[in-house]
Amino acid sequence: MNIDLDSPKARQDDPVRPGLSFTEGSAAEKNEFLGSMGHELRNPLANITAQVETLLEGIYGPLESPQKKAVAAIQDSARQLLQLIADVVDLGKIEAGVSVLSETPCLVADKCAGSLAVVAGLVQSRSIQVSSEVVPPELTVFADVNRLQQIMTELLSAAALSMQTGGRLRFRVSYGEGVLQLQTLGGISQPVPEPHHLLKRMGKVKPIGMALLQRLVKLHSGTFEVGEAAGQEVRMTIRLPMVLASATVPVREERLGDEATCREAPPPPLSRQPTILIADDQPALIFVTKNYLESVGFQVITARDGSEAIEQACALLPDLILMDVRMPVVDGLSAIRQIRASADPRTRSIAIVSLSGHASAADKEKCLAAGATAYLNKPFGVRELDRIISDHIRLARG
Q: Which of 77, 95, 113 is the last residue of a domain?
A: 95
Q: Is residue 315 part of a domain?
A: yes
Q: Phi/psi of residue 243, each to 5°? A: -105, 135
Q: Is residue 207 part of a domain?
A: yes
Q: Are residues 295 and 379 in the same domain?
A: yes
Q: Can you give the pLDDT at residue 256?
A: 29
Q: Are residues 106 and 90 in the same domain?
A: no
Q: Are residues 279 and 391 in the same domain?
A: yes
Q: Is residue 9 part of a domain?
A: no
Q: Is residue 44 part of a domain?
A: yes
CB atoms within 10 A of CB 67: 12
Q: Is residue 297 part of a domain?
A: yes
Q: Are residues 320 and 345 in the same domain?
A: yes
Q: Are 351 and 373 in contact (CB under 8 A)?
A: yes
Amino acid identity, position 280:
D
Interatomic CA distance for residues 382 and 32, integer angstroms: 28
Q: Are residues 205 and 321 in the same domain?
A: no
Q: Which of 246, 281, 299 is the last residue of a domain?
A: 246
Q: Are residues 111 and 84 in the same domain?
A: no
**Preceding omega of 250 cis (within 30 degrees of 0):** no
Give the count of domains, the chain: 3
Q: Are residues 124 and 233 in the same domain?
A: yes
Q: Are residues 89 and 114 in the same domain?
A: no
Q: Which of 95, 113, 134 is the last residue of a domain?
A: 95
Burial environment of residue 368 by CB neighbours within 10 A (0 to 12, 13 to 18, 19 or more): middle
Q: Are residues 205 and 338 in the same domain?
A: no
Interatomic CA distance for residues 364 and 378, integer angstroms: 12
Q: Can you give the pLDDT at residue 289?
A: 87
Q: Are residues 87 and 109 in the same domain?
A: no
Full residue range of the structural domain in which residue 373 is found: 259-397
Interatomic CA distance for residues 23 and 282, integer angstroms: 33
User: Whole-prediction pTM value?
Assistant: 0.54
Q: Are 146 and 87 in contact (CB under 8 A)?
A: no
Q: Is residue 325 part of a domain?
A: yes
208: domain CATH number is 3.30.565.10
Q: Can you give the pLDDT at residue 269?
A: 43
- Which residues are paired to 231 by β-bridges? none
- Which residues are paired to 243 by β-bridges? 142
Find, among 215, 185, 159, the residue nearest to 14 by Cα: 215
Q: Is residue 252 part of a domain?
A: no
- Which residues are paired to 183 by β-bridges? 172, 237
pLDDT tens-digit profile, the chain (398 residues): 444 544 544 444 444 444 444 445 566 666 666 666 776 777 777 778 878 888 888 888 888 888 888 888 887 777 777 777 777 777 777 777 767 788 899 999 999 999 998 888 888 888 899 999 999 999 999 999 989 999 999 999 888 887 778 889 999 999 999 999 999 998 665 555 565 666 666 655 567 778 888 889 998 999 998 877 766 678 899 999 999 987 544 443 333 233 333 333 344 444 458 999 999 988 878 888 888 898 888 999 999 899 999 999 999 999 999 999 888 889 999 999 999 999 999 999 999 999 987 766 777 888 999 999 999 988 787 788 888 888 888 544 44
Q: Is residue 146 part of a domain?
A: yes
293: domain CATH number is 3.40.50.2300
Total residue count of the chain as it appears in this document? 398
Q: Phi/psi of residue 235, each to 5°? A: -110, 125
Instruction: Give Cβ neighbours of residue 168 (< 8 Å, ≥ 6 apart).
Output: 128, 129, 130, 131, 186, 187
Interatomic CA distance for residues 326 and 285, integer angstroms: 14
Q: Are residues 282 and 155 in the same domain?
A: no
Question: Which uninterrupted H or E stretch holds 80?
Answer: helix 65-95
Q: Phi/psi of residue 134, each to 5°? A: -115, 125
Q: Are residues 199 and 331 in the same domain?
A: no
